[in-house]
């Protein structure tokens, strides 16, 4: 072969690598799972990380490539890695007991799967409480074509809720005393204030209702006493991203917390939301947004002044905040806002009011919401009510919208009085699936017993449950009915969740849907992934205590009626 032929072949190869990125190019990565020291600026603890750090490295893939990821376990216990939100063969999903056995100490497991999507995702351990203990990292997947929006630079903004105690100890404490971490319990002085503002009878009735439910209006966050981190740095350590004035900056927000929802704003900057859970949405400009546990949102900001701006993320319960900075140069800081007043749950958050005669609140004693199994939610006073996030609230009648009512534990107004993102604002950039009727509906009630700290689906915890069986090729409509006073981020592995927010064929495609207390939310799923998958609340201690299911998809392309051979007999 002549030199000119060799050169010509090299040039053609280079051109093909740019013009045909979806021809199955292979990429190889290596990860180690290691004991690490985590320094939050408030405390130092021993945890778990990847390649010697927590969070782990940002993995960058390209749509259309085939990836090989070698994972070596340097721990003294089994581990695993789940590729959150990625569409891949179920054997590569990384859930011990469902997709494989896990990775033993000292062993190396090799993942192989194609990249069939683009966007912002993340990875984390699915073994025990390794994820809350620091085993998480970010994934960026570049698309084959051009993005439908422009940006000049980008940063990952990965949030978590680092706690000085280990995940195992937190779970033991919650089982022993569910309000162990509640540092905002109501006092006699609060009762006196309520009596003065509401009247003695109303204050006594309210206290009686909460007593019957064995809960408190402050039960918004199960776990407090944590330090929020952004990219592994606490508020005092102040992670900083640099920019040139006038640049469009893409911020890839990922909530890798064990239990904490965050309300995020950047005072002085508009936030243009362009992606939700890795999927492009029609851009919507907001002042603030809430990110559920395990969700991702891509936001574009354009700082025009040569000054610093604070990325401010308050926990939903207003017990802590994460803080980072965008600035033209290192060392610059902007003012850090004061946290807003802590919200309180109200009976309206469960679709109840003191005017609803005949309701026996004592039936909810102990918050065993499985006792509500026979309740026809549509028969509650006032019928149904569509909320700002697209969910449907039963029994609201003419009561004030609890998402914006003072004292509600649900979505607040933006701090500036501006626009707060809601699920109803999300509209897919392009439909991923044909718009068709669901073949059937499956109701899933989100249930729990706060007094015993047991969380469940349809009143049955995971250890006592049967798998949910789906048939390849069908379209299933899931109806989530949240009968608890907690907000639950529900995550279906392996298949997309089409959030029904009234946009029809432009309903947004997500991998996590957040269900507020006392609401009903619908999502649909094209059952296009054979195998068995996990389906659970992504609050770590809720999933571990029973809010979890195995989903089995039977059949496959050309064999819809045939059952698959699955690990563990599919049980």
| pLDDT one-digit tens code per residue, 244-284 | 999 999 999 999 999 999 999 999 999 999 999 999 999 99
**Least confident among 31-35, 95-99, 109-113, 400-404:** 400-404
Owner of token pair 């740019």: 18
CATH class of domain segment(s) 21-146: mainly beta
Tokens found for residue 498 = 């089409």
Domain spanning 346-408+422-571, CATH architecture? Sandwich (2.60)
Is pLDDT of 49 > 50?
Answer: yes
Whether 153 and 249 have beta carbons less than 8 Å apart is answered as yes
Question: What is the per-residue pLDDT for 398?
Answer: 28
Question: What is the per-residue pLDDT for 180?
Answer: 56
Selection from 201-205, 213-217, 410-414, 526-530 with the highest mean pLDDT: 526-530
The dihedral formed by the CA atoms of 551, 159, 151 and 426, expressed in degrees to the nearest 10: 50
Question: What is the per-residue pLDDT for 341?
Answer: 85
Residue 20 — pLDDT band, cuts 50, 70, 90? Answer: very low
Question: What is the per-residue pLDDT for 452?
Answer: 84
Domain segments of the chain as ranges? 21-146, 149-182+218-344, 346-408+422-571
Residue 378 — pLDDT band, cuts 50, 70, 90? Answer: very low
Contacts of residue 50, defined as CB under 8 A and 6 or more positions apart, other chains included, come to 31, 32, 33, 34, 56, 57, 135, 137
List, for residues 409-449, the tens digit of each pLDDT value.
455 678 878 999 999 999 999 999 999 999 999 999 999 98
List, for residues 490-530, the tens digit of each pLDDT value.
999 999 999 999 999 999 999 999 998 888 999 999 999 99
Is pLDDT of 469 > 70?
Answer: yes
User: Phi and psi of 247, rounded to 5°?
Assistant: -70, 150
pTM: 0.82
List, for residues 289-348, the tens digit of each pLDDT value.
999 999 999 999 999 999 999 999 999 989 999 999 999 999 999 999 999 988 766 555
Question: What is the per-residue pLDDT for 337?
Answer: 97
Whether 94 and 137 have beta carbons less than 8 Å apart is answered as no
The CA–CA distances, whole Å, from 496 to 40, 400, 425, 433 equal 34, 34, 19, 10
List, for residues 115-136, the tens digit of each pLDDT value.
999 999 999 999 999 999 999 9
Whether domain 149-182+218-344 has CATH 2.60.40.420: the reply is yes
Is pLDDT of 352 > 90?
Answer: no
* Percent of residues, the chain, with pLDDT higher than 90: 67
Round to whole Å and give the CA distance between 554 and 568.
15
Edge-first strand order for the sheet with 289-291 is 239-242, 321-327, 309-315, 262-265, 289-291
* Domains 149-182+218-344 and 346-408+422-571 alike in fold: yes
Residue 232 — pLDDT band, cuts 50, 70, 90? Answer: very high
Q: What is the average per-residue pLDDT within 62-74?
A: 97
Question: What is the per-residue pLDDT for 518?
Answer: 84
């Amino acid at each position: 072969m002549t030199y000119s032929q060799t050169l010509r072949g090299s040039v053609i190869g280079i051109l093909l690598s740019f013009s045909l990125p979806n021809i199955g190019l292979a990429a190889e990565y290596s990860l180690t799972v290691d004991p690490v020291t985590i320094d939050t600026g408030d405390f130092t603890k021993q945890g778990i990380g990847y390649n010697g750090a927590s969070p782990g490295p940002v993995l960058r893939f390209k749509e259309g490539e085939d990836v090989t990821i070698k994972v070596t376990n340097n721990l003294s216990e089994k581990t695993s890695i789940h590729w959150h939100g990625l569409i891949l063969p179920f054997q590569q999903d990384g859930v011990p007991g469902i997709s494989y056995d896990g990775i033993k100490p000292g062993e190396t497991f090799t993942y192989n799967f194609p990249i069939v999507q683009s966007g912002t995702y993340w990875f984390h351990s699915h073994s025990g409480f390794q994820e809350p203990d620091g085993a998480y990292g970010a994934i960026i997947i570049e698309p084959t074509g051009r993005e439908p929006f422009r940006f000049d630079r980008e940063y990952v903004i990965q949030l978590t809720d680092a706690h000085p105690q280990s995940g195992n100890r937190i779970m033991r404490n919650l089982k022993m005393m569910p309000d162990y971490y509640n540092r905002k319990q109501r006092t006699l002085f609060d009762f006196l204030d309520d009596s003065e503002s509401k009247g003695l009878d109303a204050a006594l009735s309210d206290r009686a209702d909460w007593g019957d439910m064995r809960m408190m209006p402050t039960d918004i966050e199960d776990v407090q006493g944590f330090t929020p981190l952004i990219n592994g740095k606490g508020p005092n350590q102040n992670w900083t991203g640099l920019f040139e004035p006038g640049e469009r900056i893409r911020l890839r927000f990922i909530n890798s917390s064990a239990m904490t929802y965050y309300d995020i704003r950047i005072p002085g900057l508009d936030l243009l939301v362009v992606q939700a859970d890795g999927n492009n949405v029609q851009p919507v400009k907001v002042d603030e947004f809430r990110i559920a546990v395990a969700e991702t949102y891509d936001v574009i900001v354009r700082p025009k002044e040569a000054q610093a701006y604070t990325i401010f993320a308050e926990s939903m319960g207003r017990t802590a905040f994460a803080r980072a900075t965008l600035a033209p140069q290192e060392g610059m800081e902007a003012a850090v806002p004061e946290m807003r007043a802590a919200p309180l749950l109200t009976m309206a958050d469960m679709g109840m009011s003191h005017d609803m005669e005949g309701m026996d609140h004592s039936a909810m004693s102990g918050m065993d919401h499985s006792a509500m199994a026979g309740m026809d939610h549509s028969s509650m006073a006032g019928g149904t009510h569509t909320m700002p996030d697209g969910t449907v609230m039963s029994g609201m009648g003419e009561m004030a919208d609890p998402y914006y009512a003072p004292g509600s534990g649900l979505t607040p107004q933006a701090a500036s009085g501006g626009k707060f993102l809601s699920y109803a604002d999300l509209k897919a950039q392009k439909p991923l699936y044909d718009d068709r009727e669901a073949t059937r509906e499956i109701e899933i009630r989100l249930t729990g017993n706060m007094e015993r700290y047991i969380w469940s689906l349809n009143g049955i915890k995971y250890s006592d449950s049967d798998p949910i069986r789906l048939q390849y090729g069908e379209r299933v409509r899931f109806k989530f009915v949240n009968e608890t006073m907690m907000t639950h981020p529900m995550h279906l592995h392996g298949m997309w969740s089409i959030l029904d927010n009234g946009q029809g064929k432009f309903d947004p495609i997500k991998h996590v849907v957040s269900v507020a207390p006392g609401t009903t939310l619908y999502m649909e799923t094209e059952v296009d992934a054979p195998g068995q998958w996990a389906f659970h609340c992504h609050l770590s201690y809720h999933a571990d205590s029973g809010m979890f299911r195995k989903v089995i998809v039977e059949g496959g392309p050309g064999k819809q009626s045939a059952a698959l051979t699955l690990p563990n007999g599919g049980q």
